[in-house]
Structure 1
Amino acid sequence: MFKGVGTAIITPFDENYNVDYKALEEFVNFQLDYVDALIVLGTTGEAPTINEDEREKIVSTVVNVTNKKVPVIVGTGSNNPEHVLHNNKLAEKSGADGLLIVSPYYNKSTQKGLVEYFSYVAQRTDLPIILYNVPSRTGGNILPDTAIEIFEKNANVIGIKEASGNISQIAELISKKPKDMKVYSGNDDQALPLMALGGDGVISVFSNVLPNQMKELTQSILNNDYAKAQEINNKYNILMRKLFIEVNPIPVKYAVSKLGYCKNILRLPLIPISESGKEVIDNLFEEMNIL
C-alpha cells in the first residue's frame, strides 16, 4: 500500500456540526504535498459519529481530490461483521484503494475468533486490508502469531497498524512475520523504533499538523539516515505526545484549527479541548514556530 507516512485525517465540521466538505478538500490538498497515503474515517476522523450518507461523500471527496496521487485507505471497522461488509461496499463504490479494519470492540473475541472474523471479512472484498490493533480502545489485543496467521490465510490482508504501545510485542511481530507483511506504527512517538526494527511506516495523527516533518522523519529512516531521524524525532516528540493530552482527536482538531484548515468543532461524545489543553498546544506552537 505505502511506505512512510499515512495521515489519519480529521473530519472538519461547520458551526452546525455538518461535514465541511470545502474544508476537507482544502485539507487534503495541503496533505498531498507531503504524505504517502491518506487514511479516512479512522479514530481521528470521528468515524463512530459519521452517518452512511456522509461516509460515502467523505470518501468520494477525498478520492476525487487525491486523484490517485496517493492511496486512500478507509476505516471500516465495527464489532458487527455485517456492518463492516456494508462499509467495505461503500468504500469500494467510492473508489477507495484499501481498508483499515479494527479488531472488534466491546464483544471482543478470542485469538481464534479474531482469525475467523478477519478471514470472514477479507474473503468478501477484493480491496487490500490493513488490520488495526489498538487494545486501549477495543479491550482486545491481536497477538503476533494471530496477526501472522490472518495474513497468511488471506491474500488481501497486507499488514497491520500496531497501536498496542508494546514495543516488545511489535519487535516480536517484526522478527517473526513474513517478509512482505507490512507493519505500521499506530503511535507517532514509536514510529522511529518500529521502523528501525524493520517496520514500514506510520499511520499518523501528528502529520495532520506537520506532514512535512513526519515525511522527513520516515524518509530519513528509509534512507538509513538515523542521525537525521533521531534529530527530527527528538525535536517533535513532545508535540507528538501532547497531541494526546486529551482524548484523540480533541487536541489535534484544535491544532489543525489553529492552522486554519478546520473549525474547532467535534461531535459528541467528544468536546472541544480544555483551556489548560489549549495552553499546552499554544505554547508548543510558539516554541516550535509552527505558525
Structure 2
Amino acid sequence: MSPQQLTGTGVALVTPFDNNKAVDHSALKKLVNYVIDGGVNYLVALGTTAETATLSNKEKLEVIHTIKEANSNRLPVILGMGSNNTDELIDTINRTDFDGVDAILSVTPFYNKPTQEGLYQHYKAIADVSPVPVILYNVPSRTGCNLNADTCLKLASNIENVVAVKEASGNWEQIMQIIKHKPQDFAVLSGDDATTLPLIASGANGVISVIANACPVEFSSMVNAAVENNMPKARQIHYSLIDLINNIFVEGNPAGIKALLEMRQIIDNQLRLPLVSTTDKLYNELKGYFNAF
C-alpha cells in the first residue's frame, strides 16, 4: 500500500453486536457495503472504534474474514495491530495471514509509558517483520504516551516500511512540524474527525474517520473537496456536520456512532462492557442533529 492510496477517507469500522452481545456478521457485511457505496477510500478493521479490546482472538479472525469477504478486494484494508508487549506483537504478526490486508495500523504501546527511544525501537522491530506497510498511530489520550515529531520523522525517514502516521494528539504544533519536515512519500492522517478539514488545509493527506461509518457520503465529500482545495464546498459540509461529530464523542467512542448506525438501520445499538450505550438524553440529542442534517 503506497502513501498515495491513503489520501482521502479511511473508515474505522465498528464491530456490530446482536442482542446477545455476539458479533453480528450480517450487520458487519451490511456496514462494509454501506461505507463502500458511500465513497470511502479504504477500510480500517479492528481499531479502537471496533471495540477490539473486548474481542477474543477467534472473534478477531472472524471479523477480519467477514470484512475481507464483504469488501471482495474493492478497497484497501488496513488491520489494527497494537500491543504494549513488543515480542508478543511480533509473534502475532508472524502468525497472521496478510492475504487481503494492505497495511497495519499500530498504536503506540499503552500503559508502559516508553521513552522516545523505546517507541522508535518498538516500531522498528515491528516494521522489520511486517510483510505489509506500517502506519503509526499516536493517540496520547488513550495510551499515556506521545510519539513526538522528532521520533515520528526519524521513523518516517529511516524505515522504508513505515509509510504514514494517524495523528490524534491534538497537538497542532507537533502535527505541523511532521507535515513540514516529512519525506514526500510519507502520509499524515487526521485521527480526529472534527479537525480533519484544518489539518488537510495544513497539508495532511486525509483521515481515518469514525463519523464516516454513518455519514460516508457527506464526510467523504468534505474530505475530497478539501484535498482538491475546494475550500468553500469543504467548509460548507464541515460546518453542517460539526455539531453531530462533536456530540458522538460526548459519552465515548463508539457509543455515539453506534447510536447513529442504529438510526440508519444498519446495526443494533449494542456495546460490550465496560462500554455502554449512550444515555437516552444523548441519544435523543443525536437523533435531533441527525434528523436536521
Normalised by the size of structure 2, how large is the TM-score? 0.95
Matched, 1:144 2:144: no
Distance in 1 (alpha carbons) for counterparts of 2:180 and 2:116: 20
Matched, 1:32 2:36: yes
Higher mean displacement: 184-193 or 61-70: 61-70
Matched, 1:55 2:65: no
Aligned to 1:245: 250
Matched, 1:272 2:264: no
The question of whether the paired residues in 2 share the 8 Å contact of 1:84 and 1:121 is answered with: yes
Matched, 1:200 2:205: yes
Matched, 1:12 2:16: yes
Distance in 2 (alpha carbons) for counterparts of 1:82 and 1:61: 28
The question of whether the paired residues in 2 share the 8 Å contact of 1:74 and 1:99 is answered with: yes
Match of 1:235 among 240, 244, 264: 240
Letter of the 2:248 counterpart: L
Relative to structure 1, is the Cα distance of residues 190 and 21 closer, same or farther in structure 2, using a 3 angstrom cutoff? same
The question of whether the paired residues in 2 share the 8 Å contact of 1:59 and 1:91 is answered with: no
Distance in 2 (alpha carbons) for counterparts of 1:111 and 1:66: 37
Distance in 2 (alpha carbons) for counterparts of 1:237 and 1:87: 38
Distance in 2 (alpha carbons) for counterparts of 1:93 and 1:164: 29
Aligned to 1:186: 191
The question of whether the paired residues in 2 share the 8 Å contact of 1:92 and 1:127 is answered with: no
Matched, 1:70 2:70: no
After superposition, residues 148-159 of structure 1 pair within 5 angstroms as: 148-159=153-164
Instruction: Deviation per CA, 1:162-186: give whole Å up to 9, x if none.
Output: 0001222211111111111100000
Query: Which aligned runs of 4 or more in structure 1 are off by greater than 6 angstroms?
Result: none
Q: CA deviation at 1:90?
A: 5.6
The question of whether the paired residues in 1 share the 8 Å contact of 2:156 and 2:182 is answered with: no
Distance in 2 (alpha carbons) for counterparts of 1:271 and 1:87: 29
How many residues get paired? 288
Q: CA deviation at 1:119?
A: 0.3
- Aligned partner of residue 106 in structure 1, secondary structure: coil
Return 5+ residue gaps in structure 1 as ranges. Answer: none
Aligned to 1:128: 133
Higher mean displacement: 38-47 or 94-103: 94-103
- CA RMSD, 1 decimal: 1.2
The question of whether the paired residues in 2 share the 8 Å contact of 1:74 and 1:91 is answered with: no
Aligned to 1:212: 217
The question of whether the paired residues in 2 share the 8 Å contact of 1:63 and 1:94 is answered with: no
Distance in 2 (alpha carbons) for counterparts of 1:22 and 1:160: 32
Letter of the 2:169 counterpart: S
Distance in 1 (alpha carbons) for counterparts of 2:245 and 2:151: 29
Matched, 1:115 2:126: no
Identity of aligned residues (%): 37
Distance in 1 (alpha carbons) for counterparts of 2:145 and 2:178: 17
Relative to structure 1, is the Cα distance of residues 103 and 66 closer, same or farther in structure 2, using a 3 angstrom cutoff? same
Distance in 1 (alpha carbons) for counterparts of 2:96 and 2:177: 32
Letter of the 1:47 counterpart: T
Q: CA deviation at 1:214?
A: 1.1
Letter of the 1:107 counterpart: N
- Aligned partner of residue 44 in structure 1, secondary structure: helix
Relative to structure 1, is the Cα distance of residues 99 and 125 closer, same or farther in structure 2, using a 3 angstrom cutoff? same
The question of whether the paired residues in 2 share the 8 Å contact of 1:254 and 1:273 is answered with: yes
The question of whether the paired residues in 2 share the 8 Å contact of 1:9 and 1:41 is answered with: yes
Q: CA deviation at 1:199?
A: 0.8
Instruction: Deviation per CA, 1:174-228: give whole Å up to 9, x if none.
Output: 1111111100000001111111111110000010110011110111012111111
Match of 1:262 among 264, 267, 276: 267
Aligned to 2:6: 2
Q: CA deviation at 1:91?
A: 4.8
